[in-house]
Structure 1
Amino acid sequence: MAYVQQAPAWFLWLASLGALYVAAFLSRLLVYLAHCLRRPEDLRLRYGTWAVVTGPTSGIGRSIALELARRGINLVLVDLNADNLHEVSGTIMSRHAVQIMAVVFDLSVVSTPKGDAALRRLRDAVKKLDVGILVNNAGVAKPGAVFLHEADVEAWVRMIRVNLWAVTEVTAAVLPGMVQRGRGAVVNMGSASSEAIHSFPLHTMYSATKRYVAQFSRSLYVEYKSKGIDVQCQAPFFVATTMASGFVATWRPSAFVPTANAYARAAVGWIGKGGPLCVPNLRHRLLGWLLAAVPGGVQDWVCLHENLRQRKMLRAARSLRASACRPHGHVMPSIE
């Protein structure tokens, strides 16, 4: 009779843990795919005929505005530059039969006299409309990869005003109408840097402001769910936009870096799904699950060294631009 050696206890424990992890991974994947395979919802019927989008002139915001318009939703576009608003409005109306209202609002001056006047214009605009969706997309990532003491205080203040304070003010301006109608959706653009990554050194203030957005969304989700309003924070990893170029050199489309249009399709399709915190893009969801298996100390080391490398590259690029902008003297030819 052949003798079969019993596996050691530590091996059985590891095998059990591995099986549990795989089972949890597969269950989350199946739930995600079930959401994706559901028939696309008519957002106009569920929430309303208008959407407010901040930061719609480039990157993710522009793509989300176009995707909402493709679904027949009229838009209130909020940005600091009137010319850019005119350009994106023209582009959207040339492709889709929707109405557009533009509100010039520099979100970096929120809670100042100038910002208060712009906020009143926004309140007056949405008061007359059936606003069913708010997308707080506008964000600031500059000054990029730096130590906290290296940037001017004004740069941090601007980031806090746009990423944190403006999200709060604009949400508070739009929510009363949603409460009155008993329906609505608030989508706040967060970041995986505050949710899926253990730390994000040299981008400390950025990830900290995005952490506020996530907690703000979680609490509002509980607060307003009974009033028919869905609140969610979408936490993407890198998307191929110019903002992402300030974080990593490999920001162009790749296996885990979708284009802005690809992300926007997933983001709009995920509105009202997945609870208060979600990762709409499947590539990002898979990346998050992979990172969950990496110890926090390892993540810290990798992020620090990668961001130090980015800091070096950004400083070199700034020096190159500064030298290119300096006036160069011209030596007059001698006459002999």
Structure 2
Amino acid sequence: MSLCFVDELKSQPSWLLVLFTLGSLSFLKFLFATLKWVYASFLRPAKNLKKYGSWALVTGPTDGIGKGFAFQLARKGLNLILVGRNPDKLKDVSTSIQSKYSNVQIKNVVVDFSGDIDEGVQKIKETVEGLDVGILINNVGVSYPYARFFHEVDEELLKHLIKVNVEGTTKVTQAVLPGMLKRKKGAIVNIGSGAAIVIPSDPLYAVYAATKAYIDQFSRCLYVEYKKSGIDVQCQVPLYVATKMASIKRSSFWVPSSDSYARAGLRAIGYEPRCTPYWPHSLLWGLIQLLPESAVDSWRLGFCLRIRKRGQLKDSRKNE
């Protein structure tokens, strides 16, 4: 039967054989990608995070994804260094974590990433000195109050976005990395955004999306630079998560809570240099890639224009 099939193929025109070959290769590529996704999403075991070290440092841990990571890391038995700008919120989070995980040690470091970053980074350096900091979660970040055109972005917001999202992540990494190099082990997780990677453009959030594109490229370069030094660097790319920053109060299947995202995020540490840990998000990413960029651009522009309109309406009411 197989010989008859081969003979039948040989009798076909060459262009048809080329099409058959290309189609077979495309199908095999799709099948491999699908199996890889299923394995990574549902079957692949999480790594033992304690192998990186006994301490984890989390920036922006008082709300949203950062808070979710802090609790999940404590659940795994790691001691925590929590870095944020509000000492009262840091104390509240620390108390909540220790009431649930009493054996976990916690150090709070007050750093205003929109202020004197160099002074804050010096505090971080002093805190991590002598500690076995094996995991760094660079979560701190800010976005627009609401969607707006680039010419509507004022000077203060522009500086704030670049300073917190770009300079903050870069300098905290620079402060923690030498200790990891010395111990020849560590994991660095930088929180990116679907606004910079998943969708082809994010109109009316141009500067925010650009800062997150920096995070993605920064992470990829460090992944290559330090892979042979025992340090796993990863950019995690979430889509919408139910947080204050996203202005989403209720979680759903497509929009996880910060805890649900953090649980998925921990399972992904130590693997790909770029990933979308929450599997429904990765499914959406795949679907978006099948659409024409022009169609996604049009949809995204209309979506963001509606956000802008609602934001302007709120501003006008405040000024009345």
Higher RCO (C-alpha 8 Å, min separation 6)? 2
Which residue number corresponds to residue 293 of structure 1? 290
Instruction: Supply the RMSD in Å over aligned alpha carbons.
Output: 2.3
Q: CA deviation at 1:143?
A: 3.2
C-alpha separation in 1, matches of 2:71 and 2:28: 38
Corresponding letter in the other structure for 1:119: V
Structure 1 residue 281 and structure 2 residue 259: aligned? no
Unaligned runs of 5+ in 1: 1-11, 324-336
Deviation by residue 1:142-171 (Cα, 9 ceiling, x = unmatched): 232001111211101001011111110000
C-alpha separation in 1, matches of 2:184 and 2:168: 24
Q: Map 1:53-132 to 2 at 5 A.
A: 53-96=58-101, 97-109=103-115, 114-132=116-134
Which residue number corresponds to residue 140 of structure 1? 142
2:144·2:205 contact (CA, 8 Å) conserved in 1? no
- Shift of the 137–74 alpha-carbon distance from structure 1 to 2, 3 Å rule, reads same
Structure 1 residue 154 and structure 2 residue 153: aligned? no
2:46·2:268 contact (CA, 8 Å) conserved in 1? no
C-alpha separation in 2, matches of 1:195 and 1:20: 27
Corresponding letter in the other structure for 2:275: C
Q: Map 1:178-197 to 2 at 5 A.
A: 178-197=180-199
Question: Percent identity over the alignment?
Answer: 47
Which residue number corresponds to residue 10 of structure 2? none
The match for 1:258 among 256, 272, 285 is 256
C-alpha separation in 2, matches of 1:258 and 1:14: 42
Q: CA deviation at 1:119?
A: 1.3
1:238·1:244 contact (CA, 8 Å) conserved in 2? yes
The match for 2:219 among 211, 217, 241 is 217
TM-score normalized by the length of structure 1: 0.85
Which residue number corresponds to residue 203 of structure 2? 201
C-alpha separation in 2, matches of 1:283 and 1:14: 33
Q: CA deviation at 1:41?
A: 2.5
SS in 1 for 2:61: coil
Deviation by residue 1:202-235 (Cα, 9 ceiling, x = unmatched): 0000100000000000000000011100001001
Q: CA deviation at 1:14?
A: 10
C-alpha separation in 2, matches of 1:165 and 1:321: 32
Corresponding letter in the other structure for 1:261: D
How many residue pairs get matched?
A: 305
C-alpha separation in 2, matches of 1:251 and 1:198: 26
- Shift of the 103–32 alpha-carbon distance from structure 1 to 2, 3 Å rule, reads same
2:47·2:270 contact (CA, 8 Å) conserved in 1? no
Q: CA deviation at 1:28?
A: 2.6
Q: CA deviation at 1:22?
A: 6.1
1:238·1:251 contact (CA, 8 Å) conserved in 2? no
Unaligned runs of 5+ in 2: 1-16
C-alpha separation in 2, matches of 1:265 and 1:104: 26
- More displaced 10-residue stretch of structure 1: 32-41 or 312-321: 32-41
Corresponding letter in the other structure for 1:55: G
SS in 1 for 2:58: strand
